[in-house]
Amino acid sequence: MVKKNTCVFISGKGTNLRNLILKSRDYNFPINIRLVITNNPSSMGINYAKINSIPFKIIKSNNRIFEHLIMNELNKYKIDLICLAGYMRIIPKKFFTLFRKKIINIHPSLLPKYKGLNTFSRVLHNKEKKTGCTVHFVNSKLDSGNKIIQKFFYIKPGDNETNLKYKTQKMEYLAFPEAIIRIFR
Ligand code: GRF
C-alpha cells in the first residue's frame, strides 16, 4: 500500500497526534505522518513529533507570509492530507486555493451543533441528552465542511465539563482514524 503523506496541525496537548502516530505504524493504515506544524512553540504535542523523529515546524499565524511558509513545508514533504487536531487558528481562505488536497478537522461536538469553542459548557447549559465528536472536511466557514464520521454518547446526570471532555476524547481516538480509513477506502 502506498501511504498518503500527512501533516498534522496542532496547538496544544497533541493527544490526537499521538494516537494517529500510533495508528500509522500499522501497515494497513492509509497514512504516514511526515510533518507536524504548530502555531504554538509551547505546544506539548511537539514532544510526540520529537520522540517519533517526525519533522516539525513552528509557524506563527501573525507572520504576514505564514500561508506561504506553510505551503513551502507542505510541498517539501509532498503532503497529500492535512489533519487539523486541535489547531486553534482559522485556516485563511487563500490557503484553500494554494493547497488543493484534502484537509480534515476533528471537532468535539455533534456538528452542526456547537461550532467553535467551549462546546462542553454549552452542551451542559442546554441540557443536551447526548454529545460526541465529528470529523469533517474543512472549508472556509468555521466547522462547516461535509461530515465524514460522527460518534456520540449519552450524557449522564452528574457529568461535568471535565468528564465530558474525557469521554469525547476517547471517542476522538476512534473517530479520527476511522475517518481517515473511510476517505482513502
Ligand atoms: C480535541 O478535543 C479536538 O476535538 C479539538 O481540540 C482537541 C485537541 O486535543 N479540536 P489534543 O491536542 O489532540 O489532545
Q: Are residues 14 and 61 in the same domain?
A: yes
State the CATH number of the domain containing residue 35: 3.40.50.170
- Going from the Cα of 9 to the center of ligand 1, the distance in angstroms, rounded, reads 11
- Catalytic center residues: 107
In this predicted model, what pLDDT tens digit does every residue of 61-96 receive, in sequence order? 876 788 899 999 999 999 999 999 999 988 888 888
CB of residue 55 inside a 6 A radius of ligand 1: no
For the Cβ of 86 lying below 6 angstroms from any atom of ligand 1, the answer is: yes
In the chain, the number of structural domains is 2
Residues found in the chain = 185
Both 90 and 119 in one domain: the answer is no
Q: Are residues 65 and 117 in the same domain?
A: no
> Which cell goes with 89?
487558528
Structural domain boundaries enclosing 151? 108-185
**Residue 20, pLDDT score:** 98
- The reported pLDDT for the residue numbered 153 is 98
**Domain identity same for 3 and 54:** yes
Q: What is the mean pLDDT of residues 23-32?
A: 97
φ/ψ (deg, to 5) at 148: -105, -45
Strands across the sheet containing 4-10: 56-58, 31-38, 4-10, 81-84, 102-107, 130-137, 147-154
Banded model confidence at residue 50, pLDDT cuts 50, 70, 90? very high
Look at residue 92 in the predicted model and tell me its pLDDT: 83
Clarify whether residues 92 and 21 are in a common domain: yes
Q: Is the pLDDT of residue 173 over 80?
A: yes
Same domain, 9 and 84: yes
Both 128 and 180 in one domain: the answer is: yes
Q: Are residues 28 and 90 in the same domain?
A: yes
C-alpha 86 – ligand 1 centre gap (Å): 4
53, 70, 100 - which closes a domain: 100
Q: Whose CA is nearest to atom 10 of ligand 1?
A: 86
Confidence tier at 57 by pLDDT (50, 70, 90): very high
What tens digit of pLDDT does each residue of 151-164 get?
999 999 999 999 99
Same domain, 38 and 91: yes
Rounded Cα gap, residues 123 and 80, in angstroms: 34
What is the phi/psi pair of residue 133, to 5°? -140, 160
> Does the beta carbon of 172 sit less than 6 angstroms from any atom of ligand 1?
yes
- Residue 85 in contact with residue 20, Cβ under 8 Å? yes
Q: State which of 11, 15, 118 you would mutate to test the pocket of ligand 1, scoring each by most atoms of that ligand within 8 A of its C-beta.
A: 15
Residue nearest to atom 9 of ligand 1 (CA): 86
Please, are residues 48 and 38 in contact by the beta-carbon 8 Å criterion?
no
Is 160 found in the same domain as 144? yes
